[in-house]
Chains A and B, each alone.
Chain A
Amino acid sequence: MNILVCIKQVPDMESRFKVAASGTWFEESDLAWRINEYDEFAIEQAVQLKTEVSGADLTVLSIGPARVKEALKKALAMGCDRAVNLVDEAAHEKDSFQIASAIAAFAKEKNFDLIFTGMQSQDRGSGQVGVLVAEMLGIPALTTAVEFAYADNSVTVRRELEGGLRAAIKASTPALVSCQLGLNTPRYPTLPNIMKAKRKEMLEIPVADLLKEEARLTTLSLAYPEKKGSAQILEGDVADLVDQVIGILKEKTAVL
C-alpha cells in the first residue's frame, strides 16, 4: 500500500502577526513555525494505517521554503518513511489551485492508494487543497474525517455534521481523506524515531518542475479588522447591576 500525507508548515497562532509591506500576507520575521494542526491528525492517521497494513509505504510532502524541512523531519520522526519538499520560496503567494496542482502533478504517476490531508490550514484556511487534489487525480475525497477505518481496499470515514449528527461514508481506494479535530491524538515522537528520521530520505523538487498552472485567485489585501464595539464591565451592588442590565437591554436590544 502506497500512502501520501500532505502537510503545511504554518506560524504558531499565538505569534504576533504583522502585515507585510506587500499588504497581501504577513511578515515572516519573529514567527515560530509548526505543523498545521489538522495535518498532524493526517500524519497520525497515516502512520496508524501504515502499522496496520503490512508492507505499506508512507511519503510525506510539503510545499515551501527550506524551513518546511523542520515540519517534514517531525513527520518522519512520527513514522513517515520519506519526505518530499516541493521547494518554493513563494509558496504563500500561490493560491489553492496551484498548490493542489503541484501536489497532483507529483502524485499522478505514483499510484497512491490513500492520500491524507488536513481539513484546512490554520493560516490561510481556504480548505480547498485536499478536495482539489482529489478532483485533479480523479479520486473520491472524504472530507472532515473524525473517525477512520480501512479494510479490503475501502475506507470508511465518519464526519461530524452540524447539530451533532455524524455521517458515515465509504469509498474504494484510491481515495483522499481530509482530517478534522477529534480524529486522533498525534503521537509524541520517541528519541529512537527522531534519530532514525535523520537518516531517512528527504527529496527536494523545485516546485517549478511540477507546477505549470497560473493562479486563479488574487489576494487583494490583508489587514486586521477594525475594532468595533467592545465588552462593557459593570460594577457595583447587585440591585444597581440589575437596573443597569435592564437599561442596556432596553436601549440596545429588542428582547424586553
Chain B
Amino acid sequence: MELTREIYWNVGHSVMIPMYLLVTAAFSVLVWGLRKRLATYRLGQALERCDRRNERLSGVLRDIFLQARVLRVKGAGTAHGLFFFGFVLLTIGTTLVFVQADVLDPLFGLRFLTGNFYLFFSIVLDIAGLVAIIMLLGLAVRRYLLRPKDLPTVGDNALMLGLLLAILFTGFLLEGARMAATELGTDLSWWSPVGLFFAQPFAGLSEAAQRSIHSGLWWFHFALVLGFFCAIPFTRLRHLLLTPANIFFRDLGPTGKLTTLDLEDEEAESFGASKVSDLFWKDIFDADACTYCKRCQDRCPAWNTDKPLSPMKLINQIGEVSFSNPEANLIETITTDVLWSCTTCRACQEICPAAIEHVPKIIEMRRNLVLMEGEFPGEEVTKAMENSEVNGNPLGMAPATRADWAEELRAEGIKIADLAAGETAEILYFVGCYASFDKRNQKIAKSFIKLCSAAGVTVGILGKEEKCCGEPMRKLGNEYLYQMLAAENIEQIQASGVKRIVSACPHCFNTLSKDYVDLGLELPVEHANSFLAKLLQSGQLKLKQAPIDCTYHDSCYLGRHNDLYEAPRQLLKAAGAYLHEMEKSRQESFCCSAGGGRILAEEKIGERMNQKRAKMAAETGAPILVSSCPFCMSMFEDGIKGADLDEQLKPLDLLEVLAERIG
C-alpha cells in the first residue's frame, strides 16, 4: 500500500472552482474589514515605525512565532502558546496540501506527501490538532468556569473559542469519516491516531453513508473556515493580524523615552492630547492590537490598590472613542482620576504581549491637562510646581541650602569639588532634590561620596546651582517646567566641563541619560549602582563582608526602565548580604507609589501603595528592606510606619549598606 492519502477524496477535484471562488470572497471580506479600520488609524498623527526593519522583524519572529512574550505568564500564556504552535503546524499542513494538490500535482504531476514524509506529516498534524483542542478547552474552562477576576469576557470570546473548536473537531471528524472508508485496519491508520479515534463511530456504516457524511462534513468544515476568515476584522480575532503588526511597529527605545514637545512651535494650537487626533496613529493601532488578556491590569499598582486606573480599560476606551466617536473628549471619557493615578512604573508595558505603549498616552493626556488647562491632581501639586519654578526644587527649600549636606563631609576632610565654582573632578554627582534636602535621604548622598572617596574617585557637585532634574514635573505633564529646569541644568553641566555624570537617584539618572539628550546633553550618565559595581569589579572599591538579612526592592526606574537588576544584587552579595527575594521582584516589581510625579501628590484614593509594598517586603521575613532610590526611601519610611511594621522592618538604601562595609 502506498503511504499517502488521496487529496479531494470523495469531494472530487470539481470542488476547486467553487472553493476558490468562496475563499476569494472570504478574503475580500477580510481585507475590506481591515481596510475600513485603516481610516481610523489615520486619524492619528504621523510617527515613524517602519525603520530598522530587521530588528522589527526579528521581534515578530521572537514574540509571535516563538511566542516569547506570551509564554512569560504561566497557565493561560502556556496554553495560548501551545495552541498557537498547534495552529501554526495545522496551517503549514494545510499549505502543504494546497501546494501539492492545487499547484505541483496538476502542473507537474509532482506529489511529495507520500512515504515516510507523509507518515511524519500525518502524525504531526494529528498531534498538533489534539494539542490545539486541549488548549482551547483548557482556556474555555479558565474563562467560563474558573472565571479569573476582572477578565473581560464578551460574545467575541465564545465565538472565537466555539469557531476554533468547531473547525478542529469537524476536521478530525472529516478525517475520521475518510479513514473509516479508506484506512481502517491498515497500518497507515496508526499514523493518524486522533483520526483513528474519530473514525470509530463511522466504522459500522456503509461506504455510501460514510461518503455522504464525509461530503456534508467537508462543506461544513469549509464553511466554518470561511466564517473564521470573515470574522477576523470584526471580532477580537483581529489580534491574529494586528498583534504581530503591533510587535513590528513597537517602540524600539530607549525604554520609556517620551517625545520632547516643541514648545516654541508658533503654529501649535494645542499641546498634549485631548482628542484622538492629538494622538499618534500607533496609539489608535495599539487599542486594536489589545487582546484583553489583562496582564497589565493584574500588575498595575494603581489598580491593585483600588484606584480607578486599569491600563487595559484605558487602552480600550481610546479604541472605543476612536472608532465610535472620534471627536469626543478623551480626557472626559477616561476621567482625570484615572490619568493622575498612574505612577509610570511601566509594569503594564513590560508585560504586554502585544507591545502596547500605555504610559506615553497617559502622559500626553496629562500634558493637555497641565499645559492647556493648568490642572493638577491637587493643590499640593500646583504648589510643588510653583516651588520648582521659584526655588528649583518641588520641596520649596531655599536653593542656597541645596548643598548644605556636603558641609559635614567637607569638615571631615572629604573633598567634594564645587563644579559650578570652577573646581574639577572625575565625575559629576547629580544629587537630586530628595538627597539634597530630605534629612533621611541626605544619608544616601553622603554614603555615595564616602564610597567614591574610598575608591579614589574625585567627585564634584553643582551645589546650589543644581536644579531639580524635572522628572516629576515631566511625568505629571508639565513639559514646559521640565524643559526650563533641564535647560538650566544642562547649561551648568556643560559649563562645568565635566565628562561623566553619576546619579544615585533612578529618576535623575533616567532623565539625564535619556530625556536630556533631546535638549543637548550628550555626556555618559550612569546610576551609582552600575558605577560602583564596576569599581568593585576592577578592585578599586573594596568591601568587607558583614552578614545582613535583607530583601531588595527593584525601583521601577532602575529595573523596568533601565534593566539594572544585576548590579545591585552583585553589590549586595559583595557586602555579605543574604537576599530574601520578594514574590514580586525584578520585572514584576511593585511600585512604591512615588513614580510619575506621584511623589508630589497626595494619594487620596484606595489603599496606600507604599504600605502594600512594605507588607510584601515584611512577608519575606527579612528585617531590612533595601532599595536604590531616594523616592522609594521616602515612600518606605512612611509606608512601613503606616502599615505598623516599624518593629520588624527598616528601610535602607543600598549605598548605606555599602558605606558601612568600606574595606
Contact = CB atoms under 8 A, between A and B. Distances in A.
Interface stretch (B345-353, B379-387, B544-552, B612-620): B379-387
Interface stretch (B117-125, B389-397, B423-431): B389-397
Contact of A188 (B374, B399, B400, B464): B374
Given A188-B385, A190-B371, A191-B271, 20 more contacts: A12-B390, A12-B396, A12-B398, A15-B398, A15-B400, A16-B398, A16-B400, A32-B398, A33-B390, A34-B386, A34-B390, A188-B374, A188-B376, A189-B374, A190-B372, A191-B371, A191-B372, A191-B480, A192-B269, A192-B372
B50 interface: no
B432 to A, nearest CB: 18
Q: Is the interface of A mostly helix, strand, loop or mixed?
A: loop
B47 interface: no
B208 interface: no
Nearest to B399: A32
Interface string A183-201: 0010111111011000000
A68 B150 CA distance: 56
Interface in A1-34: 12, 14-16, 30-34
Interface in A147-198: 185, 187-192, 194-195
A32 B374 contact: no
Contacts, number: 51
Contacts of B390: 12, 32-34
Given A14-B397, A30-B400, A185-B379, A190 B374 contact: yes
Nearest to A194: B480
Contacts of B400: 15-16, 30-31
A192 B385 CA distance: 17
A194 B396 CA distance: 22
Contacts of A34: 386, 390
A14 B271 CA distance: 33
B114 interface: no
Contact of B382 (A188, A191, A192): A188
A-side interface size class: 10 to 19
A191 B263 contact: yes
A190 B373 contact: yes
B401 interface: yes
Nearest to B261: A191
Nearest to A12: B390
Nearest to B269: A192
Given A188-B382, A194-B480, A30 B374 contact: no
Interface string B395-436: 011111100000000000000000000000000000000000
Contacts of A33: 390
Nearest to B395: A14
A30 B374 CA distance: 29
B463 to A, nearest CB: 11
Interface string B252-276: 0000000000010000010100000
Interface hub of B371, B374, B379, B396 (most chain A Cβ within 10 A): B374
Contacts of B269: 192
A229 to B, nearest CB: 25
20 contacts: A12-B390, A14-B391, A14-B396, A15-B400, A16-B400, A16-B401, A30-B400, A30-B464, A31-B400, A34-B386, A187-B374, A188-B370, A188-B382, A188-B385, A190-B374, A191-B263, A191-B271, A191-B371, A191-B372, A194-B480
